[in-house]
Homo-oligomer: A and B are copies of this chain.
Amino acid sequence: MTTKLSQLKQDFTEGLSQISRFWGFPKGMGAIFAVLYLSPAPLPLDEIVTQTGLTKGAVSTEVRTLARMGLVHRSSRLGDRKDYYEAESDFYKSIRSILKERQNSEFDRAVRSVQETLEKLESGSVSGDEAEVAFVHERVKALQEFFNAIDNLASAVIKLESLGFGNVTKILSVLK
């Protein structure tokens, strides 16, 4: 039993949409990426619109955030005022740029607030039951250290030239 390529593409797109949603991104974003990822040539916005069934507005904004994440690239051609988009196919590259993106976000602000909490505790300026303050201090400190570990890991990954297969297997062997 044979499958039409167009059908296959559609299934694939559906799959990526769900994956996208799973990671907390709009499912339309996954669909857009899928369409670009399976296209041999860069596509103009209009083409993405017809292939995903989303509106111009939606594609316009979501493709922009994809670009900011480094998952797609925008380009233009001389004498053609359309923008063309194509998917980044090196996923390790994408991961790095997503991590980078996340570093200057909401998340970082929240992490810093934990840092501030810790500083107050270190400076001894917190009033309350002594034993409980000590306990809280210890806990907050542990959390902060955990965040630091994660952060170091992320930074290291970002700095890498490439997180290719070799590196992954190296990591795996260390973890054995």
Contact = CB atoms under 8 A, between A and B. Distances in A.
A78 interface: no
B152 A15 contact: no
Contact of A156 (B37, B142, B172): B172
B165 A149 contact: yes
Contacts of A105: 22
Please state the number of chain copies in the assembly: 2
Contact of A174 (B117, B139, B170): B170
Interface residues of A, number: 67
24 contacts: A3-B120, A3-B125, A4-B126, A4-B127, A5-B132, A6-B128, A8-B117, A8-B120, A9-B136, A11-B117, A12-B114, A15-B110, A15-B113, A15-B114, A16-B110, A18-B109, A22-B107, A22-B110, A37-B143, A38-B136, A91-B142, A152-B168, A167-B175, A171-B175
A112 to B, nearest CB: 9
Interface of A: 1-6, 8-9, 11-12, 14-16, 18-19, 22-24, 37-38, 40, 89, 91-92, 105-107, 109-111, 113-114, 116-117, 120-121, 125-129, 131-133, 135-136, 139-140, 142-143, 146, 149, 152-153, 156-157, 159-160, 165, 167-168, 170-172, 174-176
B5 A110 contact: no
